[in-house]
Each structure stands twice: as structure tokens, then as C-alpha cells.
Amino acid sequence: MRKGIILASCSYLAWGLFPLYFKALSNVTPMEILAHRIIWSLPFLLLILASRSQWAWLGIVINRPTVLIGFIASAALLSVNWFIYVWAISNGRVIDGSLGYFINPIVNVLLGFILLRERLRALQWIAISLAGCGVGWLALLSGHMPWISLALAFSFGGYALLRKTAALGALEGLTLETLVLFPFVFVYLIYLAGHGESAFTTSLASGGSTPWLLMAAGPITAIPLLLFAAGARIIPMSTLGILQYMSPTIQLLIGVWVYHEPFSTHRLTGFMIIWSALALYSAEGLWRNYRTRSSRS
């Protein structure tokens, strides 16, 4: 349990700092960044597998088609989440991105209730209702639903659920997801290069830093995901939701203090409602754990 908490915490800390990395690639389109994240992750992952001679999982994938289908679904959710997040950062929506990951713990709870038949207690339902009110307030304030935030929350919540119930370990699963996506993004990058639209090749010819930053996307992408997937298999989804507050908090602070995105009092009200929901849910869980330990002692 403690090992899972440490692994997941490290992944959330890394994700919280991601806006700084993607802002450094502001001259690259979000789709090309997504493609390079996948392209450079694969050799990094294969190198780790080769060093461990860890190939037995391929037999599981070949002999059990349902495993492959599950990872095709998780790969699709992961790519959607990555693209929306990179697009948000590139378009000055760091705060909207952070809101998505504040909402995500509540989404984890809902998915656990609907799909894993995890029972919810009265205060948990109140927390979910409060979060819904916060989202509704932000929608009323802006005149539309916070689609960036909701898309990030549900895509990553679905991904977390699939990985929690996956038949493969963290490293093998991420490698399979990357293999599934690799052919598509490889063709896309070849197309960009052939039409002179690739920021990678253009910058490589001019001696810029962009190619090296894009190549670094492999370990930068893979390491936090490996940490998260390993932690997610050990600890409950509710615990993952509590730990995840680290990432959006760091992102929010970066959006407000580093990139000076607008954060009005009215918008703060919506965030505070959602924070209240998260605080209520966390407090209820901590109190219940305390009561359980007390009854056993």
C-alpha cells in the first residue's frame, strides 16, 4: 500500500510540472507533440523490456484477443487525454486543464460505483452533488460547459479504470498501448515531413532545441505513466483520487503565477465549490478509516 502511494505521488508531481515542458514547445502543433510523445516513448520502453528480457506477456496478448481489445480502448482514451491537455496548454488554458484533474477524483468515484459496483455512502453522494454544482456554476459563468475540463476528467478516469482491471503489468501495458498507436502517428509524422510541415525536421535543419525537447518526450511521458500504472494496481481508486490533488494544484499555481491566466473571483467561487466537494469526500474517507482502525484495536 505504501509503495503504491509513493509511486502514484511521484507520477502526479511530474504531471503537475508538465505545463512548463509543453509551453517550451509552443512552436509545435499539439498533434505533432502527441505524435512525438508516442514515437519516442516506444524505443524507451522497448529498451527497458530488453534489459529485463521481459517478453512473456506477448504470448498473453496473442492468445487472448480480449486483452488486446482492452488495451486498444485504453490507448484511445490515453491519446484523447494527451491531445486535449497539450491543446489546452498551448492555447493558454492551463487553469482549465487543472480543473479537469480536480474533477477527475469525483469521476473516479462515479466510475467505481457504476462499473465496479463500489458502494457510495451518503457523504460521498453529497460530495458528488457539490462537484456537479461547481461545474454548473462555471458553465453558467462562461456560457458553456467547461468541455476541456470534463473531457480531461472522463478520459483519464476511463483510462485509470481500464488500467486498474488490466491483465498486464504497468510496463507491458504501456508498451502495448504505444505499439497500438505507433503505426498511426508514424504515418502522420512522415506526412508532415514530406509536406514541409514538421517542426521537428525544420528545427533540426536550423539547429534549434525543438528536436531535443521532442525526443525527450519519450522518457518524460513514459516514466510518470509507468509510476502511475504501477501504483494504480496496488491502491484503491479512491486513494488515487485523493493523491491526484497534487497535480492540478501545481498546474493551477503555474497557470496563475507563471503564465498569469485570468482567475476572477467568480471563477474562484466555482473552484471553491469543487474543492469543498473534494475536501468532504476526503474527510469522510479518512474518518471512516480512522473508525475502522479504532474498532480493530
pLDDT, residue 234, reads 81
Residue 164 · residue 233 · CB < 8 Å: yes
Nine cell digits for residue 282 = 476526503
pLDDT, residue 229, reads 75
Which residues, other chains included, contact 90 with Cβ-Cβ below 8 Å and sequence gap of 6+? 22, 23, 25, 26, 29, 30, 33
Residue 286 · residue 123 · CB < 8 Å: no
104, pLDDT greater than 90: no
Q: Give Cα 31 to chain centroid, integer Å.
A: 17
- The amino acid sitting at 116 is L
Of 278, 216, 200, 191, which is closest to residue 243 (Cα–Cα)?
Answer: 278
pLDDT, residue 32, reads 97
Rounded Cα–Cα distance for residues 108 and 11 (Å)? 17
pLDDT, residue 240, reads 67
Of 282, 160, 146, which is closest to residue 230 (Cα–Cα)?
Answer: 160
Mean of pLDDT over the chain: 87
109, pLDDT greater than 90: no
Q: What does each C-alpha distance from 210 to 16, 197, 198, 202, 258 come to in angstroms?
A: 22, 14, 11, 9, 21
291, pLDDT greater than 80: no
Per-residue pLDDT reduced to its tens digit, 36-94: 999 999 998 999 899 989 899 999 898 898 999 999 999 999 999 999 999 999 999 99
Nine cell digits for residue 251 = 498546474
pLDDT, residue 33, reads 96
Of 16, 18, 48, 5, which is closest to residue 221 (Cα–Cα)?
Answer: 18
pLDDT, residue 46, reads 93
Instruction: Name the residue ranges covered by the structural domains of the chain.
Output: 2-296
Residue 215 · residue 21 · CB < 8 Å: no
Q: What does each C-alpha distance from 221 to 214, 224, 250, 284 come to in angstroms?
A: 11, 6, 18, 34
pLDDT, residue 296, reads 67
Task: Return contacts of 176-180, CB within 8 angstroms, 24+ apart.
Answer: 176/57, 176/61, 176/68, 176/71, 176/75, 177/71, 177/74, 177/75, 177/78, 178/38, 178/41, 178/42, 178/45, 178/75, 179/42, 180/71, 180/72, 180/75
- 135 CB-contact burial (10 Å; exposed 0-12 / middle 13-18 / buried 19+): buried
Rounded to an integer, the average pLDDT of 281-296 is 73
Terminal-residue alpha carbon distance, the chain: 20
Of 54, 75, 120, which is closest to residue 281 (Cα–Cα)?
Answer: 120
175, pLDDT greater than 90: yes
